[in-house]
Amino acid sequence: MLPDRAFFDRLADAAAAETLPRFRTGTSVVNKEAGGFDPVTEGDRAAEAAIRALIETEFPDHGILGEEFGTVGADRDYVWVIDPIDGTRAFISGLPVWGTLIGLYHKGRAVMGVMDQPFTGERYFADGTTSSYAGPGGPQTLATRECGGLGNATLFTTSPHLYRGTIKARFEAVQERVKLARYGCDCYAFALLAAGHIDLVIECGLKPYDIGALIPIIEQAGGVVTDWAGGRAEMGGEVLAAATPALHAEALAILQG
């Protein structure tokens, strides 16, 4: 049995109870990466623990893949994919473009998901057929927009400095063709695409929990999400999200060289 919207709301609310009180409060930060900077906060860990506890109680036969506490039951038909704070660098900088990502895979395919931004009071949800928004301005059904081609597109990526080698050249080739390129929004950029405010998101080096919840939100709003080879993006890596199939094909042809 699939969970309903109310259960996803419970998960997001439980995470918000741990993240929001720690936002803009000088919460402690630990670096997870020797030789680099991969921050984690007590909010990340507390939020994921709260999400996992609810899932383990209500759906004990489901697997869980989380950023902070690893994977249990990855071979099960249903697997939850959790990023308690996607955009931790934004979180620790006081920038409200981070979010809690909670996705559900069925036999390896992302079918449901929520992206919650509790500071702005915005929640983006995919129920299996439709994507919706709750927040300022009232509830909405999400739909991507038609921009008319790459030359009219607005492109987001987390940072151009993350690209190296050949993928850097490919990304820059797309960036040179768009009307506007902006940086630094993490998961929030994907939500903006689903809501019809931007047209492309290109990322590299993603993990499953960075993208799993966002795939159904975009797809069920009319968009397309793949890796740079044109395949499914559930396992992360280099990812391209586009508002329409035609725009996706145009950008993918450049990314593939």
Domain residues of the chain, as ranges?
5-141, 150-255
CB atoms within 10 A of CB 232: 13
Asked if the model's pLDDT at residue 36 lies above 70, the reply is no
Lookup result for tokens 């042809």: 253
- The dihedral sign for the CA sequence 67, 72, 74, 79: negative
Task: Provide mean pLDDT across the span 112-135.
Answer: 98
Q: Rounded distance, CA 78 to CA 40, Å?
A: 27
C-alpha to C-alpha distance for 99 and 12, rounded to whole angstroms: 10
CATH of 150-255, one of 3.40.50.10860, 3.40.190.80, 3.90.1150.10, 3.40.50.970: 3.40.190.80
Run of H or E residues at 84: strand 78-86
Task: Identify the residue whose tokens are 């040179």.
Answer: 176
Tell me the sheet residues that pair with 227: 239
Would you place residue 10 in the very low, low, confident or very high pLDDT band (cuts 50, 70, 90)? very high
pLDDT at 144: 98
* Mean pLDDT calculated for residue range 82-88: 95
Q: In what order do the strands lie in the sheet with 78-86?
A: 70-72, 63-66, 78-86, 99-106, 109-117, 122-126, 131-134, 140-141
Query: Does position 164 have pLDDT exceeding 80, yes or no?
Result: yes
Three-state DSSP class for 37? coil
Q: Assess whether pLDDT exceeds 70 at residue 120.
A: yes
pLDDT at 39: 63
pLDDT digits (tens, 9 = 90+) for 185-214: 999 999 999 999 999 999 999 999 999 999
State the Cα torsion 73-79-84-85 to the nearest 10°: 120
d(CA 112, CA 102): 9
For the cut 60, the answer to whether the pLDDT of residue 140 exceeds it is: yes
Give the pLDDT confidence score for residue 38 in this predicted structure.
Answer: 56
Q: Which tokens is 29 given? A: 């930060």
Q: Give domain 5-141's CATH architecture.
A: 2-Layer Sandwich (3.30)
Whether the CB-CB separation of 19 and 47 falls below 8 Å is answered with yes
pLDDT score recorded for residue 1: 74
Nearest by Cα to 182 from 161, 211, 157: 157
> Which amino acid is residue 242, in one-letter code?
A
For residue range 42-74, what is the model confidence (pLDDT) as tens digits?
A: 899 999 999 999 999 999 999 999 999 999 999
Residue 216: phi, psi to the nearest 5? -65, -30
- Give, for 240, the enclosing helix (H) or strand (E): strand 237-242
Residues 233-254: tens digit of each pLDDT:
999 999 999 999 999 999 999 9
* Residue 26 pLDDT grade (very low, low, confident, very high; cuts 50, 70, 90): confident
For the CA atoms of 239, 159, 104, 42, what is the dihedral angle to 10 degrees? 150
